[in-house]
Structure 1
């Protein structure tokens, strides 16, 4: 798949909240996921390596959600081997007040698979 095709599939699945399918179908076995230092106090690792570890991190994050009030993903912008999208969520995490979460994802594709994802929030 081309970067454009990966981006389109990512957008389609993310819009349906099918994150497990994104990980299974689109992630490379050796994917690297990067989070900002802001996540460290909440127990989020800044760098996660490997498909299984990235999936576990995502599963842990989703388990912390009490209520997803709404979510939105922007259409991806593609440049070379990269695409980016904006993720917005109105969410209540367990034991925390309701909040609006916004982040930018920059995703790198190589040989038809996502090899890295970097989140800025």
Structure 2
């Protein structure tokens, strides 16, 4: 699978609300996830390694959300073994706080799997 094909599949799955399946189908078990340094102030680990830990982080974040009001994901931009997308969503947290998030995500691809993800927000 080319980087373009994998990126297209990622975007298709995100837009269809199939995020949990992305971990099963597109991610390497050795995935490395990097969040910006200021994420630590929000209780988010800035470096997460391995599919089990990445899944746990995602699940913990989803459990804080009471309602989703919409999301978007742009078409991917490809450069060699990397692709990037702009994406975001608006949610209401269980504490009642409603927020809109926008970010740029850069993914590294190797052997037909996503091996790294870096988020900028």
Which range, TM-score by smaller chain?
Answer: over 0.9
Instruction: Show structure 1 runs of 4+ deviating over 4 A.
Output: none
Q: How many angstroms does 1:33 deviate by?
A: 0.3
Indicate yes or no: 2:95 matched with 1:91: no
Any idea what SS the aligned residue of 1:17 has?
Answer: coil
When the two structures are superposed, what TM-score results if normalisation uses the length of structure 1?
0.96
Counterpart position of 1:2: 2
1:31-50 aligned within 5 A? 31-50=31-50
Any idea what SS the aligned residue of 1:95 has?
Answer: coil
Gaps of 5+ in 1: none
Distance 1:97 1:6 in 2: 35
Gaps of 5+ in 2: none
Q: Count how many residue pairs are aligned between Structure 1 and Structure 2.
A: 121
Counterpart position of 1:24: 24
When the two structures are superposed, what TM-score results if normalisation uses the length of structure 2?
0.96
Any idea what SS the aligned residue of 2:41 has?
Answer: helix
Any idea what SS the aligned residue of 1:44 has?
Answer: coil
